[in-house]
Amino acid sequence: MDAHQLPPEEKALLTHELLNQAYKHRKLEPRRGHMHELISTMLSHRTNHNDEEKAYYNMLERFGDWEGVMNAPFEELADTISTTRYPGQKAPQIQQTLRLIKEERGELSIDFLEEMPVEEAMAWLTKLPGVGLKTATLLLLFNFKKPVMPVDTHVFRISQRVGLIEAKVTANKAHDLLLQMLPPEPEELYNFHIHMLRHGQRICTFYSPRCEECVLSGICNYYQDVRAKGIDKAA
Ligand code: SF4
């Protein structure tokens, strides 16, 4: 049997192993504080990292702290985060999120998620305005070291091309399927996620994947069924 015909479970483990070799295993350490990660991830939707950071620091400089951001006039907040896409949507979402946290927990902190079981923490986070599955899983994995799999555009695309998931699965389903196939330790999931992100940005890009340089070509459906046969070049 050719390697690309292996079952998805075996390919998922091979993908993880090959990317670990290519990009090196990294220790899972939170890159920023819990509230910082939550609000920055909300700001980052369809926005590059520099513009997201600019918006984040502008906001805190202008309004001082989360209390100030929560009570800021809406137009002023939207103006302050205007380096991001859709500031008019993000400003009220951030303020509503802050109000909900304050109302429910009595303080502007999400440290309590540390002790909360994964399912409950996911449910709590995804009811916040502007917080979807991707933001919730990123926060829970990166900051709270919970065993979840953030499925961003790179994880989704590469998983489909290699054949870990079918073309028509939803992001929610992809999250569950990948979790079932990968080692359950949060640090392993973290490495899988960041390696897929890096691979998607450098090699398996959306428009023209550089398959000839790819360590996954031996197990990849797209490479074996399309690229190796010259089908994509002929189109
Ligand atoms: S072989 Fe090509 S399509 Fe497959 S993962 Fe690598 S770059 Fe992407």
What pLDDT, on the 0 to 100 scale, is given for residue 220? 97
User: Between vectors from CA 86 to CA 83 and to CA 92, what angle results, nearest 5°?
Assistant: 105
pLDDT tens for 189-229 read 999 999 999 999 999 999 999 999 999 999 999 999 888 78
Give the per-residue pLDDT at 234. Answer: 58
Ligand 1 atom nearest 223 alpha carbon: 1
Supply the pLDDT for residue 232: 78
Q: What is the rounded CA–CA span in Å between residue 195 and residue 16?
A: 8
Domain 34-142 CATH assignment equals 1.10.340.30:
yes
| pLDDT-flagged residues of the chain (< 70) | 233-235
The reported pLDDT for the residue numbered 3 is 79
Report d(CA 79, CA 61) in Å as an integer. Answer: 13
> CB neighbours of 168 closer than 8 A, spacing ≥ 6?
none
How far are the Cα atoms of 42, 127, 151, 165, 181 from residue 9, in angstroms, in the given order?
Answer: 32, 31, 17, 10, 5
Q: Of the candidates 195, 199, 194, 160, which has an alpha carbon nearest to the alpha carbon of residue 178?
A: 160
Considering only the top CATH level, what class is 3-26+150-234?
mainly alpha
In this structure, what is the dihedral angle of CA atoms 81, 85, 88, 94, given to the nearest 10 degrees?
-60
For the CA of 209, the nearest atom of ligand 1: 7
| Structure tokens that stand for 223 in this block | 């490479």
Residue 233: per-residue pLDDT: 67
Residue 95 has a pLDDT of: 97
pLDDT of residue 226: 82
Which of 15, 19, 204, 207 has most ligand 1 atoms within 8 Å of CB, for mutation?
A: 204
Q: What is the pLDDT of residue 45?
A: 87
- Would you state the structure tokens that stand for residue 94, as one six-digit string? 């951030």
Q: Return the residue matching tokens 């079932």.
A: 180
Of 111, 39, 44, nearest to 70 by C-alpha is 39
Residue pair 140/148 in contact (Cβ under 8 Å)? The answer is: yes
Protein residues whose CB sits closer than 6 Å to any atom of ligand 1: 158, 161-162, 203-204, 209-211, 214, 216-217, 220, 222-223
Segments making up each domain of the chain, as ranges: 3-26+150-234, 34-142
Chain centroid to Cα 62, Å, comes to 28
The length of the chain, given as a count of residues: 235
Which pLDDT belongs to residue 167?
87
Predicted local distance difference test score (pLDDT) of residue 156:
96
